[in-house]
Amino acid sequence: MTTASPGDTLLAIGLIAVPLAFTAFYAALAATFHYPAVLREPAGEVLARFRAGGTRLVLLWWAFAMTAVAFIPVAVGAAHLAGPDLAALTLVIGVLAGLVQALGLLRWPFLVPQLARDRERSPEAVDAIFDATNRYLGVAIGEHLGYLLTGGWTILLSAGLLATGALPGWFAIVGIVIGAALLIGCFEFVGPAERDGWAFAGAVVAVAYTAWSLWLILGGVLLLVLPH
């Protein structure tokens, strides 16, 4: 029985810090920008709110995107916990999960400020560009692929944990359930009201991401306190 290795200690810190940062910035965006409900509003209203938020809102979106980037080294560090059979696949899926979510979120600090400035000059064209990029970078890349890959990573890592016993079996089973819920969320775009999304999937993924954040934090704590 030994304490956690330096590598596992760093991993545990990342597992705790990244979801805490994600939750903090998400809550700040919800309070200051009415996110994510604001995304269902007309483009003109979203851009007006964004412009009113000023530099503080731009930096807040940048920081939120950086939590997705910060997940990438966490996914790399956690891959060995899945065991030799699943480590490589878990690593690739985890890195892609962080990457696509970062790509989706980075439109806010870099593309949207320009659109917000240009809207007074040509509102119809800017609204069309905003809606198109929001659907592609936001819904398709950030949300659909993000939920799909994050759910897949969670299931793969959990399946590996069941095989290796690196963390308790109950923790792995909870991870599989959460991963499956995230996979349901990736189909939010389907249904009779495609523009507004599948309400059931949207509700599931909101709960699943909260549970996922708590699951990661718990995983970090277990890595620190359990003997190895």
Share of the chain above pLDDT 70, in %: 94
Q: What is the pTM of this model?
A: 0.92
**Got the DSSP string for 113-159?**
HHHHHHTTT-HHHHHHHHHHHIIIIIIIIIIIIHHHHHHHHHHHHHH
Count of residues making up the chain: 228
Extents of the domains making up the chain: 6-225
Question: Which residues, at least 6 apart from 59, have a Cβ–Cβ distance to it below 8 Å?
Answer: 109
CA distances from 221 to 27, 72, 141, 188 (A): 23, 19, 31, 32
Type of residue at 10: L
Of 219, 224, 209, 161, which is closest to residue 30 (Cα–Cα)?
A: 209
- For residue 195, what pLDDT is reported? 60
Of 182, 199, 198, 222, which is closest to residue 8 (Cα–Cα)?
A: 222
- For residue 202, what pLDDT is reported? 76
Q: Rounded mean pLDDT of the chain?
A: 92
Confidence of residue 227 (pLDDT cuts 50, 70, 90): confident
**Helix (H) or strand (E) run with residue 36 in it:** none
Of 181, 185, 184, which is closest to residue 215 (Cα–Cα)?
A: 181
Measured CA to CA, the distance from residue 135 to residue 125 in angstroms comes to 16
Of 104, 215, 202, which is closest to residue 153 (Cα–Cα)?
A: 215
Q: What is the pLDDT of residues 4-51, one digit of tens each?
A: 677 889 999 999 999 999 999 999 999 999 998 888 889 999 999 999
Type of residue at 142: G
- The answer to whether residues 179 and 151 touch, using CB atoms and an 8 Å cutoff, is yes
